[in-house]
Structure 1
């Protein structure tokens, strides 16, 4: 577990300090000696375990008095939380598979293991990557956010996603003192051609109305021009016929 610090300050200084607890401690026990001259009797307890929960007493004894203060320590369990909703990504893109500990817990000293259908995806121990057993399909495409592990963030980043990456992923902290050491994330891959087809279809639907309107306008204009041309031709033909009739009449009259 993580490291905690209990606080206890007494007025009398430079006296004998007694640290006691009703049951033996399982873990490293350290005192902050730098603050003794100022009355700081704080206690640091490293590698906290569930068995460390309980009531602590800080006492100071002198020839004339005896003073004590108490601190109640409650140790909770951090649970590994995955994602209830499936994560969807397009082929060729990068994706982050979310996984964290709640409440936040520093996992830098523990092992974090990612798998997909029992295939090793990524392993980190004590803040360092161990990828000897990593499946070839994930080689050079996975990473963890090591700088955020102090806050319990064990999310996995997967780059250049392919259709072979689809499936159920598990993030696991094997040595976590908790009943919930695993989180699950389902990754769904959306093919690139399917996405492009949808986008083209949407673009076609959006632009189809414009194309239809333009075609209709062109058709109307063409029809108007055609009708005008026919009318003009008819008038012209009528004028020609009239002219021929006048000329023919004049010719007869002259004879």
Structure 2
């Protein structure tokens, strides 16, 4: 019994941060290592301390303000990809996100920062005033 429990152990891997321009779609990367199916796991994504996305038993719950803007790449769950896709990136989306995966008694977390590209190649016009 202990042998199968060790076999099922996994870790989460991610990047330190990703960048996006306002209005873009951005993916917050997070993967199970070794590649293990995440279909039967509970996946939570937090921004700060707020749970913004919950996947459990195939059911999804999204926090208001993120409804229709966040999703997992469900066809990739079988390969351990639990990355969060965020559509219509907004200034208010910048910050740190935590991916949490629970399977049985094992719980792993990984953090990824999301920041604006600081206006580089931004579609938003910028006006400077001389004083």
- Determine if the alignment matches structure 1 residue 172 to structure 2 residue 123: no
- Compute the displacement of 1:189 (Å): 1.5
- Compute the displacement of 1:126 (Å): 2.0
- TM-score of the superposition, structure 2-length normalised? 0.82
Identify the residue that residue 92 of structure 1 maps to in structure 2: 23
Query: Residues 147-203 of structure 1, C-alpha deviation per residue, up to 9 Å, x if partnerless?
Result: 11111110000000000000000000133554x600110000135587369xxxxxx
Mapped to 1, the partners of 2:104 and 2:38 lie a distance apart of 9
Give 3-state SS (helix, strand or coil) of 1:140's partner.
Answer: coil
Task: Count how many residue pairs are aligned between Structure 1 and Structure 2.
Answer: 124
Give 3-state SS (helix, strand or coil) of 2:24's partner.
Answer: coil
Contact 1:144 1:155 in 2 (8 A): yes
Give 3-state SS (helix, strand or coil) of 2:32's partner.
Answer: strand
- Provide closer, same or farther for how the CA distance between residues 155 and 193 of structure 1 changes in structure 2, counting only shifts above 3 A: closer
More helix by share: 1
- Provide closer, same or farther for how the CA distance between residues 137 and 192 of structure 1 changes in structure 2, counting only shifts above 3 A: farther
Which consecutive segments of 4 or more residues in structure 1 shift more than 6 A? none
Identify the residue that residue 146 of structure 1 maps to in structure 2: 74
Contact 1:91 1:191 in 2 (8 A): no
Over alpha carbons, which structure has the higher Rg?
1
- Compute the displacement of 1:102 (Å): 0.3
Let me know the Cα RMSD of the aligned residues.
2.5
Residue from 81, 86, 95 that aligns with 1:158? 86
5+ long unaligned stretches in structure 1: 1-24, 26-50, 54-73, 198-255
- Determine if the alignment matches structure 1 residue 78 to structure 2 residue 78: no
5+ long unaligned stretches in structure 2: 125-131
- TM-score of the superposition, structure 1-length normalised? 0.44
